[in-house]
Amino acid sequence: MAETPQGQGQETLSNLLQESRSFPPPADLAADANVQADAYDAASADRLRFWEDQARRLQWEQPWSNVLDWNPPFAEWFTGGKLNAAVNCVDRHVDAGRGERVAFHWEGEPGDTRTITYADLKDMVCQAANALTELGVGKGDRVAIYMPMIPETVVAMLACARIGAVHMVVFGGFSVDALGTRLDDSEAKLVVTSDGGYRRGKPSSLKPAVDEAVRDRPAVENVLVVRRTGQDVEWNEGRDVWWHDIVDRQPTEHAAEAHDSEHPLYIMYTSGTTAKPKGILHTTGGYLTQVSYTHWAVFDLKPETDVFWTAADIGWVTGHSYIVYGPLSNGATSVMYEGTPDTPHKGRFWEIVQKYGVTIAYMAPTAIRTFMKWGEEYPAQFDLSSLRVLGSVGEPINPEAYMWYRTHIGGGRTPIVDTWWQTETGAIMVTPMPGITHGKPGAAMQPIPGVDADVVDESGESVPRGQGGFIVIREPWPSMLRGIWGDPERYKKTYWSRFDGLYFPGDGAKRDEDGDLWLLGRVDDVMLVSGHNISTTEVESALVAHANVAEAAVTGASDPVTGQAIVAFVILRSEAGEGGAGLVKELREHVAAHLGPIAKPRQILVVPELPKTRSGKIMRRLLKDVAENRELGDVSTLTDAQSIQTLQEAFQESG
């Protein structure tokens, strides 16, 4: 925002603590919104009844006998019921005469495209289900999927769901080691992969990593390979099978069995810390119910007219719930994009919005801040007037990023739904509703109907308005994780031991004077400076609110005087130049002036890049290693392991 007046950052910052901006829903959207205020009343009057009503959105082959069996902390939903997730996502729409509706407008990074209707998808899924069966994959078997963002990835997932095999998608950017540990833990017998995919303007390979990971893992019987890029691959006769050889010759009919509501649907490993990754288990009926409901409710989806786009990878839960299961169960038309946002140019996302007339877009704050850094001139070149709802997910959205998103992408019109949830929750839990909630920059606002979330203090007591604490969930919800694959004790210990009888997601939160919720990041990321708790999120938002800062990451480093001291790493906006000592001083003062002197960073380093996981989360643990002059911890889930080393050297030189 080149023309941003200098004063604006300061004005914004005072809003950070006491956010006064509030955006009412547009009148036309509100009048016709899928969810009205009575949904909250209905759910609080009878939560289980509310979820039963939502479960009826789906096609059940056998009705449930019990809504909820709750043996804390183990929940079972819609027990006795039987359904097939693939039938719900595909066949149901074709049977209802909607086979010609587009399920996916797929766009490859090089610009190749495929239009896949629900009828096409049904044929593809049935063929793939038959092929999996021919390869000896049966109900309950685990299938690893290590793929680029191509339609076959969705087809493979749904084919598993159809036959009752449990899919375990590993993000295509993960290393051999990450793939290997996930194969071991899940004991997958098949890996579905491709020769490669397109990223940053060139083919990247996947098959060599699979070859290496599978070499010493005899439990993997076959590797099913989609040809995407046409690059040369090594071939292991007897083990490797081309997708086009086995899938294409299958019949397009497949009789789907109905599975128990609690039949495992998938395992998704949560993104890396130093500990062994946790295989989060989701099952069928409850998961599909909440994912389907939230996709319809939170995005105000009108399946006949909307074009929905989750700009995330299928390799993380956002893609599972809001590229695959949510949109397809609702019969929506989605965009699916293979590549990076700056290939071949920095306006690629907005070009896609214009081309397909995207009406609802959902992405992560990290992407939004990157777009801010590139500048508003890129979106300005495209017609974005089709957009009517914008979503954010993955981390707290800084008020400044929220304002940029609303202004430069949403044309100042669109509500922004800041959706808080986790791999473990399976679906959105806390969010504004676009037709009823006033949007407040930076706040996730309210639990959805049927979810009982609260903010509590150290001892588990609800905090009054205006206070901070920990977010907890008081009652089971349909899409909750059913456990950690193979480790029930770890499940209890990780999520249910901090507060008696409450689910603890691990995030800090506050309840503002209006009673609305603000998520403040992982509690591990809270700093203790001279006896004061300061959240990394608040300092980062303060920095991002400065006109020259595009992105900021903050960590606490041990300090002999203050216990912990605040160390910040900032990326400048394109037009801000190199920075220099003057700017660093100004930024330190800027934070101090508005959050209080206690929050003044001890050090600020201007950097070109920040260490991020593949899902776009800043790895503050590594920044802490840098700030405390330690050897770097595990970097295997980083997008770019080199950049953290460069950053470390720069930090050491800065003294």
**For residues 322 and 319, what is the distance between their CA atoms, to the nearest angstrom?**
5
With contacts defined by CB under 6 A, name the span among 224-232, 391-399, 556-564, 633-641 that binds ligand WT7: 391-399
3-class secondary structure, 110: coil
**DSSP letter (8 states) at residue 571:** E
Regarding 419 and contact with ligand WT7 (CB under 6 A), the answer is yes
- 9 vs 396, which CB is nearer to ligand WT7? 396
Smallest separation (angstroms) from ligand WT7 to the CB of 509: 9
For 279, phi and psi rounded to 5 degrees?
-85, 100
8 A C-beta contact, residue 446 and residue 437: yes
Size of the site for ligand WT7 (CB under 6 A): 23
**Among 554, 560, 504, which residue's Cα sits nearest to residue 525?**
554
Candidate segments 50-58, 480-488, 503-511, 584-592, binder of ligand WT7 by CB under 6 A: 503-511
Measured CA to CA, the distance from residue 177 to residue 597 in angstroms comes to: 44
Query: Which residue among 76, 185, 507, 512 contacts ligand WT7 (CB under 6 A)?
Result: 507
Residue from 81, 286, 396, 426 touching ligand WT7 (CB under 6 A): that is 396
CA nearest neighbour of 432 among 289, 294, 303, 315:
294
Residue 51: CA count within 13 A, CB half-sphere: 24
Task: Using DSSP bridges, classify how beta strands 416-419 and 113-117 pair: parallel, antiparallel or unpaired.
Answer: unpaired
Which window, 27-35, 349-357, 417-425, 578-586, contacts ligand WT7 (CB under 6 A)?
417-425
Q: Is 408 annotated as a binding residue?
A: no
d(CA 95, CA 303) in angstroms, rounded, equals 16
What does the alpha-carbon distance between residue 91 and residue 121 come to, in Å, rounded to a whole number?
A: 9
Which listed range, 148-156, 228-236, 251-259, 421-429, lies at the site for ligand WT7 (CB under 6 A)? 421-429
| Least Å from the CB of residue 270 to ligand WT7 | 5
Binding to ligand WT7 in span 589-648, by CB under 6 A: 615
Residue span binding ligand WT7 (CB under 6 A) among the ranges 88-96, 105-113, 155-163, 519-527 = 519-527
Q: Indicate the residue among 541 and 615 with the shorter CB distance to ligand WT7.
A: 615
In the set 106, 356, 420, 569, which binds ligand WT7 (CB under 6 A)? 420
Q: Is 121 in the site for ligand WT7 (CB under 6 A)?
A: no
Residue placing its CB nearer to ligand WT7 in the complex, 195 or 418: 418
Query: Is there binding between residue 359 and ligand WT7 (CB under 6 A)?
Result: no
The number of beta carbons lying within 10 Å of the beta carbon of residue 165 is: 27
* Per-residue 3-state assignment (H helix, E strand, C coil) for 509-561: EEECCCCCEEEEEEHHHEEEECCEEEEHHHHHHHHHCCCCEEEEEEEEEEECC
Ligand-binding site membership of 200 (annotated): yes
**Contacts (Cβ under 8 Å, ≥6 apart) of 461:** none
**73 is annotated as contributing to ligand binding:** no
Q: Among residues 280 and 567, whose Cβ is nearest to ligand WT7?
A: 280
Task: Mark the segment that binds ligand WT7 (CB under 6 A) among 514-522, 552-560, 587-595, 618-626.
Answer: 514-522
How would DSSP label each residue in 434-453? Answer: TTTSPB-TT--B-BPTT--E
Give the Cα separation of 577 and 452 in Å (integer). Answer: 47
CB 157 → ligand WT7: shortest distance, Å? 17
Query: Which one of residues 256, 393, 552, 566 is an interface residue with ligand WT7 (CB under 6 A)?
Result: 393
Residues that bind ligand WT7 (CB under 6 A): 270-271, 317-318, 392-396, 418-423, 444, 505-507, 519, 521-522, 615
Binding-site residues for ATP: 394-396, 418-423, 507, 522
Binding-site residues for CoA: 199-202, 318, 530
